[in-house]
Amino acid sequence: MSLFKWAQTKSPWIIHFNTGGCNGCDIELVAALTPRFDLERFGILLEGSPRHADILVVTGPVTLQVKDRLVRVYEQMPEPKHVVAVGTCAISGAPFQECYNVHGGIDTVLPVDAYVPGCPPKPEAIIDGIAKLIQKIKEGEAHGKGK
């Protein structure tokens, strides 16, 4: 394992992007970062800048208003970058599926490496999804750019 890959798996930095929705997934993601669930025990830190982040965690469906911003944030991230879709809205766009202003899930716009299902998913599920993505990175199965 290269030094770069080792560092990426031991201390991945995530950036959270909310595309809209009910904010249930956002609350659960913030709960995963609190001391009760302690996402930081894996070395995962929440970063405010896409230029320093390794993993983009997206909640909510992709709307017409937010599509360009989401792509811009993704493009600002350094390589290798990964995307995690958290919640049913991010995965498929449901219950907003086929609305006039909704593209659908995140994978209609960006390549997604990991999916965390639920409405909203529990903090344990979010931690498990990110931990599985880190394991995929270690094993070389993650795409680096998504698909």
Q: Report pLDDT digits (tens) over 109-136.
A: 999 999 999 999 999 999 999 999 999 9
Angle at 128 between CA 126 and CA 129, to 5 degrees: 65
Q: Token pair 């993704």 is at which residue? A: 74
Buried b (16+ CB within 10 A) or exposed e, 99-118: eeebbbbbbebbebbbbbeb
> Which amino acid makes up residue 11?
S
Q: Give the span between the Cα atoms of 107 and 109, in whole angstroms.
A: 5
Q: What is the CATH number of domain 3-139?
A: 3.40.50.12280
pLDDT of 20 reads 85
DSSP string, 53-84: -SEEEEES-EETTTHHHHHHHHHHSPSS-EEE
pTM for this structure? 0.91
Give the model confidence (pLDDT) of 45-75 as tens digits.
999 999 999 999 999 999 999 999 999 999 9
